[in-house]
Each structure stands twice: as C-alpha cells, then as structure tokens.
Amino acid sequence: MMYPTDENITIDQLVLDPYPIYRRLRAESPVVSVPAVGRILITKAADTQKIKMNPELFSSDDPNTPMERAFGAKTLMRRDGEDHMRLRQAMMPSMSPGQVKRVWSEQIESVATEYIDRLPKGRKIDFFTEFAGPFSARCVAIVLGIPSASDADIQRWSQVLIDGAGNFGGIPELFEKTDDANREMDECIAHSIKTRDSTFEFSALGIQTSAADPIEYEHIVSNIKIAIGGGINEPRDSIMTTLFGLLTNLDQRDAIIEKPELFGQAFEESVRWVAPIQVSSRRVTDNTQIRGFDIPKGKVVMTIQASANHDEDVYEDGHKFNIFRKNKRHQAFGNGPHFCMGTHLSRRMIADIALPMLFDRFPNMELPDPSEVKWRGFGFRGPINLPLVLN
Ligand code: HEM
C-alpha cells in the first residue's frame, strides 16, 4: 500500500506550532509524505521507537542533508555501527554519570551561583538572554574543555551550526558563516589543547586527546563541534520550558517548593511536553513497511519524537504539562545507538543544580504575562523569550 502525501503542510506552520498538525497526523495518517519537508513523517510513539532501535534498516547516514557541508565533516550523528561507536565511545566517558557527579557537579554549581548572583530582582528580565543561554554555554564550554571561548561565541557557533545543518536551500551566506565559525572553533580547540586548564584532563577534549589509542584529530574536532551544535539549545530551552510549565501551573510549583526532589520529574516532564530536539532523520536501507505502507529503499523517514511524546496511545492529555503524570517515559533524548550523550549532564545542570538554586533564591518569581512568551521551531523547539520578574 502506498503511503499518503500531504501537500498542505508548510514549514512555516510547523515552525509556529506543529502540535495540532501532529495530533491530526497521529489520528489520520501516521505515515505521511510531506513535500515541504522532503521526508516521510512518522508520528506514532511505537513507530518512532522501532525505527531508532533498528539502525541496520534505518541508517543515520543521510547523504542529502547539508550537515556535512556545515560541519566540514561527517559527524558521529551521521554514522552507523562500529564506525559510529568508535567515535561515540571516545567522547562519552567525559559525560558519564560518575564523571558528571565527581568532576562536573562542583563546576556547574559555581557557574550557577555566579550567574544567579548577577540576576536583578524586582524588574522584568528576559531569562533567555540573562541566564538560560549563557548558563548552558558556560557549563558546556567547561565540560568540553574549551573554557576560553566566551558565552557569546559558544552561543553564536551553536546557532550558526544549526542554521547551516538545516540549510536545505543551500543559501551561500549561511555556509559562509559556518566556514567562519569552523575556523574560530578550530583555533579555540587548538588553543585549549595547548593551554590545558585545571579540568582539561577530564573534559571531552582532554579525554579524547590523551586516550591510549586516540581517534583521529579531525574526528575529535568534529565530536566537539557536534556537542556545541547539539548541546547548547537543549539545556537552554528545557530550563525555560520547565519554568514556563511550573509558573503557569502554580499548584505544581507549590508542590515542588515543598518537595524539591520533584525537580527531576519537572525537568523530564518539560522535555516530554516540548522536546528540545523535535525530529530526527533516518535513511531506509532496504524496501520495508511501516503500518502496512510500503517504504522503498533510499527514502528518508523523519521520526517526530515531539509527536511520540504526546501520543494518545501512551499518554493521557499529553498536551498538558503535568509533573505528576503516571507514565513518565518519553523519547526526548532519543532511542537506540544515538541516544543523547548529554542526558546525565543536562539532568545535573538543570534538575539538580540550576532549578533548585533559582527557586531557593527567588521563591516568588513570576511570569507576569504568559502570552508574551513566543515558541518557535520545527527541528529544535523552545521559547525564544521568557519575561520573568524575580523575587
Ligand atoms: C535537554 C537536553 C538535551 C536533549 C533533550 C537532547 C536530545 C538529544 C537527542 C534527541 C539526540 C539523538 C538524535 C538522533 O537520534 O538523531 C541527541 C544526541 C546527542 N546529544 Fe543531546 N540533548 C540534550 C543535551 C545535550 C548536551 C548538554 C550535550 C553535550 C554537551 C549533548 C550531546 C549529544 C550528542 C554528542 C549526541 C549524539 C550522540 C550520537 O550520535 O551518538 N546533548 N541529543
């Protein structure tokens, strides 16, 4: 059976608010080709999970994305099997739960303290620019081993890489920007290896460069770049989403102030509710079927984890933020061999350190007008502003 095509869905609609579209697709056509995206969209939780757990049939090596051009490299996210594992395992020990606890907790705590200390009380601030963005940038810079990069540089590089990796139209200026950012990142990485700050040996760069049998230098560099491109937005967006959820559901906020151990649940619920990385692409390596629809070899399917996380078969009222929901499993960190490397780090940064510190310091913080908050994004999604008054 041939899968249906939906000519009406536009990228603009998806960027503005994809959730009503996904709800309709889950009900009417959970396997659908969307020409505006150039992919077959897969919106049901059971299907997105199955696809990601079967890398032989659904390869991460999609040669038709601008990612390779943007990064100047074929990164680990576009590799499969042994080839992928070798690059992944080279960097992963720097972000293991043990390493996060032993080495990075203290570092993250001092960044959080310093960045919270400088937040003004009693007047409206944009939490995005005043805290969420710089805090994510600083923590990730330290863990990667490139602390000489400024918060502004890290955030700019990250955005430029994301824009370049999504530059399906091949706009030359976007690739000029990635070329410039790649040059700056290359210099910063080389400088960090020479200067070795106090935690360098534990960092992603330190662990990879001093391994007994290190991977090639170009792969070390592209591993660092993938963590810059894919490790800044997500903690930034998820801390804002958690705050939005709590400050628009005051019963949940009150419960959390009573019981700070609930911050973990609040963070997980926020990434389920609005997945910071909403979609992933996989290339089909052999003729197959999904829900009875024939998918020919070579087609690219897009797993929509944002939609999976709201699936009516799994969640009741999935569109609502509810830290007490019974089913807490979600797919926001992915599934299978490409499962997010920064999961423990993000939980520590946000659920264990930043949120408790923020509520301790500003127990009466307010979101005066939730309608001022703008949400954007199809590939990556989150609030693009968060006007808070801290008290
Ligand atoms: C709330 C925070 C985060 C979320 C929701 C998130 C989400 C994800 C998802 C969905 C994937 C899988 C993509 C796919 O299957 O194609 C992924 C992969 C990855 N993430 Fe995260 N991420 C977060 C934070 C971070 C941080 C802080 C870092 C590092 C500093 C990081 C590093 C990575 C890396 C290196 C990969 C690629 C792993 C591989 O291909 O083997 N992430 N992330």
Q: What is the mean pLDDT of residues 177-194?
A: 98
β-strand partners of 230 = none
Widest Cα–Cα separation across the chain: 61
Sign of the Cα pseudo-torsion (143, 149, 151, 154, in order):
negative
Listed in sequence order, the DSSP H helices in the chain are 11-16, 19-28, 45-52, 67-71, 81-91, 97-99, 105-117, 127, 133-144, 151-165, 172-195, 204-209, 217-231, 233-247, 250-258, 263-273, 305-308, 343-346, 355-361
Residue of 162, 341, 353 to test ligand 1 pocket, by largest number of atoms within 8 Å of CB: 341
pLDDT at 65: 84
pLDDT at 168: 82
Q: What is the mean pLDDT of residues 162-183?
A: 93
Ligand 1: which residues within 6 Å by Cβ? 52, 76-77, 88, 140, 143, 226-227, 230-231, 234-235, 238, 271, 276-277, 280, 332-334, 338, 340-342, 345-346
DSSP 8-class letter at 380: B
Atom of ligand 1 nearest to the CA of 79: 40
pLDDT, tens digit, 9 for 90 and up, residues 28-52: 999 999 999 999 999 999 999 999 9
pLDDT at 234: 98
| Cα 103–chain centre separation | 23
Answer yes or no: is pLDDT of 64 > 90.
Answer: no
Residue 137: exposure state from Cβ atoms within 10 A (0-12, 13-18, ≥19): buried
Answer yes or no: is pLDDT of 340 > 90.
Answer: yes
Answer yes or no: is pLDDT of 166 > 90.
Answer: no
For residue 164, give the amino acid letter.
G
Which residue's CA is the closest to the ligand 1 atom numbered 38? 338
Answer yes or no: is pLDDT of 169 > 90.
Answer: no
**SS3 of residue 57 by DSSP:** coil
C-alpha 40/C-alpha 33 separation (Å) is 4
β-strand partners of 31 = 42
pLDDT at 172: 94
For residue 39, give the amino acid letter.
R
Across the chain, mean pLDDT equals 97
In the structure, what pLDDT confidence band is assigned to residue 170 with cuts at 50, 70 and 90? confident
CA of 234 to the centre of ligand 1 (A): 8
pLDDT at 120: 97
pLDDT at 287: 98
pLDDT at 155: 98
C-alpha 6/C-alpha 214 separation (Å) is 47
CB hemisphere CA count around 55 (13 angstroms) = 17
In the structure, what pLDDT confidence band is assigned to residue 265 with cuts at 50, 70 and 90? very high
Q: Which two tokens stand for residue 22?
A: 């996904």
pTM of the model: 0.97
pLDDT at 98: 97
CA of 250 to the centre of ligand 1 (A): 30
C-alpha 233/C-alpha 231 separation (Å) is 6
CA of 8 to the centre of ligand 1 (A): 31
In the chain, pLDDT over 70 holds for what percent of residues? 100
pLDDT, tens digit, 9 for 90 and up, residues 11-23: 999 999 999 999 9
Which residue's CA is the closest to the ligand 1 atom numbered 16? 280
C-alpha 61/C-alpha 107 separation (Å) is 36
In the structure, what pLDDT confidence band is assigned to residue 328 with cuts at 50, 70 and 90? confident
**CB neighbourhood size of 5 (10 A):** 13
pLDDT, tens digit, 9 for 90 and up, residues 90-103: 999 999 999 999 99
CATH architecture of the domain covering 11-389: Orthogonal Bundle (1.10)
CA of 333 to the centre of ligand 1 (A): 6
CA of 251 to the centre of ligand 1 (A): 31
In the structure, what pLDDT confidence band is assigned to residue 305 with cuts at 50, 70 and 90? very high
C-alpha 52/C-alpha 75 separation (Å) is 18
Q: Which two tokens stand for residue 358?
A: 């923020």
Exposure string for 240-278, b = 16+ CB within 10 A, e = fewer = bbbbbbbbebeebbebbeeeeebbbbbbbbbbbbbbbbb
Q: What is the mean pLDDT of residues 143-171?
A: 95
**CB neighbourhood size of 343 (10 A):** 16
Q: Residues with Cβ < 8 Å from 89, sequence gap 6 or more?
A: none
Domains of the chain by residue range: 11-389
